[in-house]
Amino acid sequence: MAMGDLMGMMNKARELQEKMQEVQQEVAAMEIEGVAGAGLVKVVMDGKGNMKSLAIDPSLIKPDETEILEDLIVAASNDARARAEAALQEKMQEMAGGLGLPPGFNLPI
């Protein structure tokens, strides 16, 4: 392998690392909403999976139905996390396409 090829590969690797960090920061700054119970429970998370807010429709606040409310909170949280993961995956695919990587090449997250 020629020295120029090696330097080119090293530059490409450095560029890839910088772009991955940019994408991770961009996704971390996102606010993703997850919903459950037809919108009666809403959770907003950042791209790192940290809960930023929780909204519960007052009609769900009944002492004898706490299990339903708990399940809906978990479901909304899981929905937000899944949306955050999908957003990160989409950004990584966009980045991979911009770098000219072969189709199907998966970047580590």
Q: Is residue 82 part of a domain?
A: yes
pLDDT at 11: 86
Which residue range(s) make up the domain with 74?
3-98
pTM: 0.69
Query: Does residue 97 carry a pLDDT above 60?
Result: yes
pLDDT at 10: 86
Query: Does residue 98 carry a pLDDT above 70?
Result: no
CATH label of the domain that carries residue 62? 3.30.1310.10
Segment 15-41 mean pLDDT: 89
Q: Is residue 81 part of a domain?
A: yes
The Cα 64–Cα 16 span in angstroms is 53
Q: Is residue 35 part of a domain?
A: yes
Q: Is residue 58 part of a domain?
A: yes
Total domains in the chain come to 1
Confidence of residue 20 (pLDDT cuts 50, 70, 90): confident
Q: Is residue 7 part of a domain?
A: yes
Neighbouring-strand partners of residue 45: 32, 51
Q: Is residue 79 part of a domain?
A: yes
**Torsion angle defined by CA atoms of residues 21, 26, 28 and 34, in that order, rounded to the nearest 10 degrees:** -140
Q: Is residue 47 part of a domain?
A: yes
Q: Is residue 104 part of a domain?
A: no
Confidence of residue 102 (pLDDT cuts 50, 70, 90): low
